[in-house]
A = this chain, B = another copy of it.
Amino acid sequence: MGVMERVAPRRKKAVAPAGVEAAKIATDCLLRGDCIAEMAKLPDACIDMIFADPPYNLQLGGDLFRPEGGRVDAVDNDWDKFDTLGSYDRFTKAWLREARRILKPNGSIWVIGSYHNIFRVGTALQDEGFWILNDIIWRKSNPMPNFKGTRFTNAHETLIWASQGEDAKYTFNYKAMKTLNDELQMRSDWVLPICGGQERLKRNGTKAHPTQKPEALLYRVMLACTKPGDVVLDPFFGTGTTGAVAKRLGRKWIGIEREDDYIEVALERIEAALPLDESALTIMQTARQQPKVAFGTLVETGYLQPGAVLTDAKRRWQAVVRADGSLSVGKDTGSIHKMGATLQGAPSCNGWTFWHCEIDGALKPIDALRQTYLLANEP
Which A residues form the contact surface with B (CB < 8 A)? 1-12, 56-63, 65, 67, 69, 74, 76, 78, 80-85, 88, 114-123, 125-127, 129, 132-137, 139, 143, 145-146, 149-156, 158, 160-161, 172, 174-175, 177-178, 185-189, 210-211, 224, 286, 344, 346-350
Contacts and interface: CB of A to CB of B under 8 A. Distances in A.
Contact of A4 (B65, B81, B123): B81
Nearest to A191: B189
> Which of A59, A62, A123, A129 has most chain B Cβ within 10 Å?
A123
> Which of A8, A83, A122 has most chain B Cβ within 10 Å?
A8
Contact of A155 (B118, B189, B349): B189
Nearest to A340: B69
A151 B133 contact: yes
A174 B152 CA distance: 8
A3 B129 contact: no
A4 B67 CA distance: 18
A24 B11 CA distance: 49
Given A187-B152, A210-B1, A126 B134 contact: no
> Which of A57, A132, A210 has most chain B Cβ within 10 Å?
A57
B2 A60 contact: yes
Contact of A58 (B7, B134, B152): B7
A2 B187 contact: no
B188 A154 contact: yes
A160 B3 contact: no
Contact of A172 (B8, B88, B151): B151
